[in-house]
Amino acid sequence: MSLERLTTNGAPAEARAPFDSGAVLLDIVLRPNRSLGPRGFAWVIGLACAGFLLPLLALLGTLALWAMLPFMLGAVVLLWHFIRRNSADGGLWERVTLTRTAICITRHEPSGAERRWQADPYWTRLLLHPEGGPVEDYLTLRGGGREVELGAFLSPGERRSLHGELQAAFDRLNRFR
């Protein structure tokens, strides 16, 4: 998970007065982990090609080579396609902003579409479901008549960490009410 602390007007969110209604108490951008960069991608494709071509060396000069070659090429093309698709899905990210008057989640989909959810933080409940959710440590926010999932792409430990950070921000907010 990549957590980015954002600032507004050049001042860190924690430095501004918490009683200011426009003060940003928390502003986090959540991104999925990207473990395979361009260089790693080239290595994976290269190793796959080498691994597929090695058994074909024994078939050089036979018709069996031509029977096997399309399947080997198809496997490399599919591997290429699915790794690229996975990289494109890495364009998913969420931004969580908490002010005294609103909590807002903006989810940016890989397709470029954007979904927003906003509620009054006073009436919003932060829920961590250790069991019974679709994933372990399922994290949701309930408010504004809806319940939304937060950080679906995070690991269970990252969701617990995010829960702790959000809970601390809600606690700071409630101290100044």
pLDDT band at 5 (very low <50, low <70, confident <90, very high): very low
Residue 21, pLDDT above cutoff 80 = no
Instruction: Please write the tens of the pLDDT for every residue from 83-113.
Output: 888 887 778 899 999 998 999 999 999 888 9
- Same domain for 56 and 132, yes or no, is no
| pLDDT tens by residue, 61-86 | 889 889 999 999 999 999 999 988 88
Taking residues 137-164, what's their average pLDDT? 91
> What residues have CB less than 8 Å from 77, skipping those under 6 apart?
none
What the block records as the tokens of 137 is 């440590």
What average pLDDT does the chain have?
A: 84
Compute and round to an integer the Cα radius of gyration of the chain: 23
CA nearest neighbour of 4 among 26, 35, 36? 26
Residue 4 clears pLDDT 70, i.e. is over it? no
Looking at the structure of the chain, the number of domains it has is 2
Cβ–Cβ under 8 Å, residues 151 and 139: yes
Provide the domain limits for residue 49. 38-89
Residues 142 and 61 in one domain: no
- Joined together, the tokens standing for residue 34 give 């990207």
| 47 and 72 assigned to the same domain | yes
Global pTM value: 0.68
CB 94 within 8 A of CB 159: no
CA angle 134, 120, 149 (to 5 degrees): 10
Same domain, 58 and 143: no
